[in-house]
């Protein structure tokens, strides 16, 4: 049974259409009016009348509304406010959606790329094209982007960004800085990387830098080369010339290091990151409100203390070595270089070319962005002691006689009186200094080194090992150990690719 309509509901239906229309619908509903497939004329007329009645009612209602100005304005205002409110809600939803999408995209981008590494260095991060031809030619590994580089280093992207970030002012410092006294006087500032950065720099050395061939003239910090191989070409020569470069590592700036990696074939993005990982700016410490801040002073440079710095410096001066060697051959000189020590040798008959050699060598060095130390140019002729990187080369590789005499006297004194109050150089522990010097002698003159080694064994057998006082090493100091070869031998130098010159 259908639901009974109230009087108000019946009245509302009649107002919405017409009385006849309502009666027709009810008769059809109750079955008193059988409607066929085709509507009858009466049905059509009633429906048209209802439609016209509805349109008339709507027009009358609209006329009543617009006849009252205030009511019309209020209605329009309500409509506008409703539309505006709906628009604001829609805009808010769209903005929130865009914000979420942007945040998600930014988070995803940060997980895949390094977008910023500090002032003045971040521009190159957007250039990701590598020179695959060069990388393949020199058998260097290819890194598509920063993420690929981080994965190869077995660290995450955030850690890579943390280590490479160029901070003008920071609460952290990736280096321990201290000073060591030079044998020639003065002090050398050492910036030793902390363990994690040192690990990354060693990785760069092993996976990239050591794959590049060095010049035959370079002997410093290169496997199977030493101060002995550096001195051999100058043995028993009439004239030996030594030149030192001033501030060798600090002269190699971040821009030059980044340029080196870029010229190897790496993209600007990868070159920027590698350049930042291998360079360091001098730091001034300042304390503000009890907090220590590290403030950069000057531009980034190669740090003395990084395991990657020697290899980078050897590659940076590749072109300079070739130019100077070409000049030396033209003027009939032998040429070798051990880090910042450059050595030349020739015969007495060629002495007239010494001044020309010095003049043009200086020009080449200055052109390549380096400076000769004015107090460390030595011309040594036959008849006086000739040294190359500390090794006497007058007739054969040998150690300075005065130094050997003092060392023999030290061993004799220890053998006679024991270890107490014995000193060798400025070393804290005399036993370490003695062992180091014996290894050095053995490298230059194996026979003397073996004798000294036996002397030390006899002393230890007689007096035992010296008491080593435990000292508290400041946390900021990381000892640096440079391995010294035990044996001396002439190392065959392999022929280098002729076109390696081009990338410099």
Distances (CA, A) of 285 to 134, 171, 292, 323, 479: 42, 10, 7, 42, 21
* Range 157-172 average pLDDT: 93
Looking at the fold, whether 52 and 170 belong to one and the same domain comes out as no
What is the C-alpha separation between 324 and 311, in angstroms, rounded? 19
Looking at the fold, whether 239 and 264 belong to one and the same domain comes out as no
Domain's final residue, options 398, 428, 451: 398
Token pair recorded at residue 335:
């040429």
Residue 485: pLDDT band by 50, 70, 90 thresholds? very low
- The answer to whether position 364 is within a domain reads yes
Task: Give yes or no for residue 32 having a pLDDT over 70.
Answer: no
DSSP state, residue 449: H
- The answer to whether position 433 is within a domain reads yes
Buried b (16+ CB within 10 A) or exposed e, 51-88: eebeeeeeeeeeeeeeeeeeeeeeeeeeeeeeeeeeee
Task: Give yes or no for residue 137 having a pLDDT over 50.
Answer: yes
* Range 66-93 average pLDDT: 83
Looking at the fold, whether 31 and 51 belong to one and the same domain comes out as yes
What is the C-alpha separation between 287 and 315, in angstroms, rounded? 39
Alpha helices in 308-400 (DSSP H): 309-316, 318-330, 354-367
Looking at the fold, whether 200 and 146 belong to one and the same domain comes out as yes
- The answer to whether position 484 is within a domain reads no
Residue 472: pLDDT band by 50, 70, 90 thresholds? very low
- Given a contact cutoff of 8 angstroms between Cβ atoms, the answer to whether 252 and 316 are in contact is yes
The pLDDT value given to residue 477: 35
What is the C-alpha separation between 227 and 485, in angstroms, rounded? 10
User: Is the Cα torsion angle 133, 137, 139, 140 positive or negative in sign?
Assistant: negative
High-pLDDT (> 90) share of the chain, %: 58
The pLDDT value given to residue 73: 78
What is the C-alpha separation between 141 and 132, in angstroms, rounded? 10
The pLDDT value given to residue 482: 31
- Given a contact cutoff of 8 angstroms between Cβ atoms, the answer to whether 450 and 443 are in contact is no
Task: Give yes or no for residue 183 having a pLDDT over 50.
Answer: yes
Token pair recorded at residue 259:
């340029």
* Range 96-104 average pLDDT: 84
Domain's final residue, options 67, 85, 101: 67
Looking at the fold, whether 407 and 393 belong to one and the same domain comes out as no
Structural domain boundaries enclosing 383: 218-251+314-398
Count CB atoms within 10 A of the CB of residue 248.
22
Buried b (16+ CB within 10 A) or exposed e, 317-341: bbbbbbbbbebbeebebbbbbbbbb
Looking at the fold, whether 246 and 353 belong to one and the same domain comes out as yes
Looking at the fold, whether 449 and 380 belong to one and the same domain comes out as no
- The answer to whether position 489 is within a domain reads no
Looking at the fold, whether 382 and 273 belong to one and the same domain comes out as no
What is the C-alpha separation between 121 and 106, in angstroms, rounded? 21
Question: What's the number of domains the chain is made of?
Answer: 4
- The answer to whether position 434 is within a domain reads yes
- The answer to whether position 228 is within a domain reads yes
Ranges of beta strands (E only) in 329-461 are 334-338, 341-346, 372-381, 387-388, 391-392
What is the C-alpha separation between 148 and 87, in angstroms, rounded? 46
Between 48 and 321, the higher pLDDT residue: 321
C-alpha radius of gyration, the chain, whole number: 44
160: left (phi over 0), alpha (psi -120 to 50) or beta: alpha
Looking at the fold, whether 243 and 262 belong to one and the same domain comes out as no
Supply the angle between the helices 146-153 and 157-164 in degrees, to the nearest 10. Answer: 100
- The answer to whether position 139 is within a domain reads yes
Looking at residue 347, which CATH number applies to its domain?
A: 3.30.70.270
- The answer to whether position 502 is within a domain reads no
Collapsing DSSP states into helix, strand and coil, what is residue 143? Answer: coil
pLDDT digits (tens, 9 = 90+) for 3-12: 677 777 777 7
Looking at the fold, whether 225 and 340 belong to one and the same domain comes out as yes
Task: Give yes or no for residue 13 having a pLDDT over 80.
Answer: no
High-pLDDT (> 70) share of the chain, %: 85
pLDDT digits (tens, 9 = 90+) for 334-390: 999 999 999 999 999 999 999 999 999 999 999 999 999 988 999 999 989 999 999
Residue 65: pLDDT band by 50, 70, 90 thresholds? low
Distance from chain centroid for Cα 277 = 3
Looking at the fold, whether 368 and 446 belong to one and the same domain comes out as no
**Across all residues in the chain, what is the average pLDDT?**
85
Looking at the fold, whether 186 and 267 belong to one and the same domain comes out as yes
Distance from chain centroid for Cα 322 = 28
DSSP state, residue 400: -
What is the C-alpha separation between 442 and 133, in angstroms, rounded? 45
């Amino acid at each position: 049974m259908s639901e009974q309509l109230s009087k108000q509901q019946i009245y509302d239906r009649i107002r919405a259409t017409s009385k006849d229309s309502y009666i027709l619908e009810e008769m059809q509903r109750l079955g008193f009016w059988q409607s066929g497939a085709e509507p009858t004329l009466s049905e059509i007329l009633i429906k048209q009348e209802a439609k016209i009645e509805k349109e008339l009612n709507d027009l009358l209602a609209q006329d009543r509304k617009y006849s009252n100005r205030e009511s019309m304005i209020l209605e329009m205002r309500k409509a506008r406010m409703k539309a505006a409110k709906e628009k604001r809600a829609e805009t808010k939803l769209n903005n929130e959606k865009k914000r979420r999408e942007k945040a998600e995209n930014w988070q995803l981008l940060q997980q895949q790329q390094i977008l910023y590494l500090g002032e003045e260095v971040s521009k190159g991060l957007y250039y990701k094209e590598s020179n695959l031809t060069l990388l393949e030619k020199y058998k260097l590994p290819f890194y598509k982007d920063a993420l690929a580089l981080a994965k190869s280093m077995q660290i995450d992207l955030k850690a890579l960004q943390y280590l490479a970030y160029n901070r003008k002012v920071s609460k952290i410092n990736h280096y321990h800085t201290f000073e060591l006294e030079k044998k020639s006087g003065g002090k050398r500032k050492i910036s030793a990387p902390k363990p994690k950065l040192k690990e990354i720099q060693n990785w760069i050395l092993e996976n990239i830098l050591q794959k590049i061939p060095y010049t035959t003239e370079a002997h410093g910090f290169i496997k199977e080369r030493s101060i002995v191989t550096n001195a051999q070409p100058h043995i028993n020569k009439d004239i030996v010339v030594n030149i030192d470069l001033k501030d060798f590592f600090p002269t190699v700036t971040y821009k030059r290091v980044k340029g080196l990696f870029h010229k190897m074939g790496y993209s600007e993005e990868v070159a920027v990151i590698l350049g930042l990982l291998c360079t360091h700016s001098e730091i001034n410490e300042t304390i503000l409100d009890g907090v220590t801040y590290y403030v950069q002073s000057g531009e980034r440079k190669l740090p003395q203390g990084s395991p990657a710095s020697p290899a980078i410096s050897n590659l940076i001066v590749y072109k300079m070595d070739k130019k100077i060697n070409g000049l030396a051959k033209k003027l009939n000189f032998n040429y070798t270089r051990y880090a910042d020590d450059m050595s030349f040798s020739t015969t007495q008959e060629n002495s007239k070319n010494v001044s020309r050699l010095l003049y043009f060598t200086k020009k080449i060095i200055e052109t390549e962005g380096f400076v000769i130390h004015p107090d460390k140019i030595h011309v040594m002729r036959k008849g006086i002691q000739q040294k190359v990187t500390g090794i006497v080369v007058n007739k054969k590789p040998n150690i300075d006689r005065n130094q050997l005499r003092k060392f023999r006297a030290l061993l004799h004194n220890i053998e006679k009186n024991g270890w107490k109050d014995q000193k060798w150089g400025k070393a804290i522990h005399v036993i370490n200094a003695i062992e180091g010097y014996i290894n050095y002698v053995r490298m230059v003159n194996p026979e003397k080194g073996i004798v000294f080694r036996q002397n030390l064994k006899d002393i230890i057998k007689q007096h035992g090992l010296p008491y080593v006082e435990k000292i508290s090493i400041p946390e900021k100091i990381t000892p640096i150990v440079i391995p010294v070869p035990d044996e001396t031998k002439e190392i065959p130098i392999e022929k280098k690719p002729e076109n390696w010159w081009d990338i410099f």
